[in-house]
């Protein structure tokens, strides 16, 4: 599992933002990035990208294989491949943090609705990477937002996981609300 994640990170790190987010055909790398972090967080025995179009990846824990569909929730219309690459640090005012936080419900609604419409077979889980970070400022306020925003998926997917602020949250399992969490970051990422 760590070998998978490390290999994906070695492939992804040298790619420019415009290539990683803008070049057609690299969606599998973004799925692999999510898969590696979920596998790390859940202490999986094995992880692999699925050989079929859907779902995106599989993990194995204690001999049980779980399939997952991966997606990303972000601001509507954001095209990171079109954003300029700036290696200089820029200010990120607190007002922007709140703006990103307040964009979460609409972002979740968009991606959850799209995934539900695809009608996955029973037993597939959903992982949503929420790319609207707030530096941990709104965690207490954010958990109910994540739970409510993913509620429409609870009966369509066996489990619903959300990756937000360096944590994988299990919010729904077999249609029932749960709250479990695991970190998916490594110390070297935080340096």
Asked if 41 and 168 touch (Cβ cutoff 8 Å), the reply is yes
The contacts of residue 163 (CB under 8 Å, 6+ apart) are 34, 37, 38, 127, 128, 129, 130, 169, 184
CATH of the domain at 25: 3.40.1540
pLDDT in tens, the chain (191 residues): 678 988 998 998 888 777 877 777 888 888 999 999 999 999 999 999 998 888 999 999 999 999 999 999 998 876 655 555 555 677 888 888 999 999 999 999 999 999 999 999 999 999 999 999 888 889 889 999 999 999 999 999 999 999 999 999 999 999 999 999 999 875 444 33
User: Tokens at residue 6, please?
Assistant: 């490390």
Nearest of 108, 112, 133 to residue 69 by alpha carbon: 112
Neighbouring-strand partners of residue 80: none
DSSP symbol at 81:
G
Omega within 30 of 0 (cis) for the link into 55: yes
Give residue for tokens 């695809």. 118
Asked if 70 and 31 touch (Cβ cutoff 8 Å), the reply is yes
Asked if 150 and 109 touch (Cβ cutoff 8 Å), the reply is no
Asked if 80 and 116 touch (Cβ cutoff 8 Å), the reply is no
Q: How far apart are CA 145 and CA 151, in angstroms?
A: 10
The domain in which residue 128 lies consists of 2-190
Q: Which pLDDT score is estimated for 117?
A: 96
Number of structural domains (the chain) is 1
């Amino acid at each position: 599992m760590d070998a998978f994640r490390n290999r994906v990170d070695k492939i992804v790190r040298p790619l420019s933002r415009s290539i990683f987010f803008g070049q057609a055909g690299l969606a599998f790398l973004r799925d692999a990035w999510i898969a590696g972090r979920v596998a790390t967080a859940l202490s999986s025995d094995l992880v692999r990208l699925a050989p079929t179009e859907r779902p995106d990846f599989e993990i194995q824990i204690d001999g049980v294989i779980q399939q997952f569909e991966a997606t990303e929730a972000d601001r509507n219309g954001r095209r990171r491949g079109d954003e300029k690459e700036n290696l200089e640090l820029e200010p990120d005012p607190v007002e922007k943090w709140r703006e990103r936080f307040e964009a979460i419900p609409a972002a979740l609604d968009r991606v959850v609705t799209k995934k539900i419409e695809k009608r996955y077979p029973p037993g597939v889980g959903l992982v949503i990477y929420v790319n609207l970070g707030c530096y941990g400022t709104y965690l207490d306020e954010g958990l109910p937002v994540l739970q409510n925003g993913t509620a429409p998926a609870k009966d369509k997917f066996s489990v619903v996981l959300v990756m937000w602020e360096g944590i994988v949250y299990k919010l729904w399992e077999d249609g029932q609300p749960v709250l479990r969490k695991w970190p998916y970051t490594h110390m070297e990422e935080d340096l």
